[in-house]
Structure 1
Amino acid sequence: MTNNLIITIGRQCGSGGKLIGEMLAKKMGVKCYDKELLSMAAKHSGLCQELFEKLDERPTSSFLYSLVMDSYSMGYTTSGYSDMPINHKIFLAQFDTIKRLADEHSCVMVGRCADYALEDYPNVVNVFITADDRDKLNRLKELYKVDESKAKDIMIKTDKQRSSYYNYYSNKKWSDPRSYDLCINSSKVGHEGAVDVIMNFADVKQRWLKQN
């Protein structure tokens, strides 16, 4: 465990959370990890990267599904994760990767229960990004080149998956303000404004920690 500054970002679909994370990392002069965590976790665990992509922020408690995926993963697993369902192997591999990166350097991490993985690390700022539905839908329509009905389907489905994943693996509740240090509505301050708010909050939290 180190005193590296880690910013974790949970986000509603269409809120611009990933973009805010990337902008924040650039301003801080550090790396932003999103889907990069999948390839890194696969490399260090010995598990097939395709499994990480298939199960990315998607939980399952289905015994049958785990059996099927375990069979699919034969030949790709390491002994360290050999005696558990494949969805748990994937989560723990990402969990280990998140901790390893936090120990190595300051960074920004988007999604994947990073706040839960680092709950014992003092110098972490856990942020949740939301936005007004109209702005989220407009962003998704532009991003995926779809109509409003399809954008709404994407928003609802993605948020449901993220919520289920977070609630399944962590001891907290997704989007509940009590699960985070800071919640921001990007519709009210814009993406650059959100970056400024996070940086200011991180500075205040760091000074408070030094005093207490």
Structure 2
Amino acid sequence: MNKQVIISIGREYGSGGHVIAEMIAKHYNIPLYDRNILDELSKETGNSYDVYKKYDEKPANPFITRTVLGQSNSVEKIIAEMQFNFLKEKAESGESYVVLGRCAEDILQDNDGLISIFLVGDTDVKQKRIMEVKHVSADEALTKMKRHDKSRKQYHNSFSSGKWGDSRYYDVCINTSRLGLKASAEELIRYIDARVAAM
């Protein structure tokens, strides 16, 4: 790309966020940042990837979290801030990329090249997809969906000024159940192309 573009994708669990993010990143031949950020942080700090993964995109526990002189004892908050700083540094370097979750539409809101997307889906379609991908029962899929979405919402809202999934805080919200993942990605690419042309 000749212009810097950062595509942030928020998503409901089971809506196909990672698949669509991969399609968009591949189309534009730009990096996708998701849990692979944890690999980079692990290399930089020498800390275990598994520790970072355990607390990734998790809200801080309000009962044990303390902040003294701007320093927090919350592992969740520390890891979140490390990822936010990673994304900001990439943005400041001029790099174009796709990022999944991590409050990117909020922490990068001052970047002129930011395009923010939120993906939703019908419960039955998401449930079926989770059953197929995770090889779990219908009840287990529904439980996973509710648990992950609750955690993502708490995480996002604790670090962001906007509310998770509120259409007013995103450029585009799309129900991936209507068109399917491939066609939804294609529609989003058309929108991104139009935005880039207007920059």
Q: TM-score, normalized by length of structure 2? A: 0.89
* Higher helix content, 1 or 2: 1
Aligned residues: 193
Selected match of 1:149 from 139, 142, 145? 139
- The match for 1:20 is 20
Distance 1:95 1:120 in 2: 14
TM superposition shift of 1:207: 2.9
Query: Is the partner of 1:4 in helix, strand or coil?
Result: coil
Letter of the structure 1 residue corresponding to residue 149 of structure 2: D
TM superposition shift of 1:178: 0.8
TM superposition shift of 1:45: 5.2
- The match for 1:78 is none
Whether 1:182 and 2:172 are equivalent positions in the alignment is yes
- The match for 1:77 is none
Letter of the structure 1 residue corresponding to residue 195 of structure 2: K
Q: Is the 8 A contact 2:57 2:76 kept in 1?
A: no
- The match for 2:157 is 167
Whether 1:101 and 2:111 are equivalent positions in the alignment is no
User: What are the Cα deviations for residues 3-60 of structure 1, in whole angstroms up to 9, with x where unaligned?
Assistant: 5111111011000011000011111111211110122234345654333211111112
Deviating more after overlay: 170-179 vs 101-110: 101-110
Unaligned ranges ≥5, structure 1 = 68-81
Unaligned ranges ≥5, structure 2 = none
User: What are the Cα deviations for residues 90-127 of structure 1, in whole angstroms up to 9, with x where unaligned?
Assistant: 11100011112233521111111121221110111100
Deviating more after overlay: 97-106 vs 165-174: 97-106
Compared CA separation, residues 45 and 182, structure 1 to 2 (3 A): farther
Compared CA separation, residues 206 and 37, structure 1 to 2 (3 A): same
Distance 1:42 1:126 in 2: 27
TM superposition shift of 1:63: 4.4
- The match for 2:39 is 39
RMSD: 2.0
Q: TM-score, normalized by length of structure 1? A: 0.84
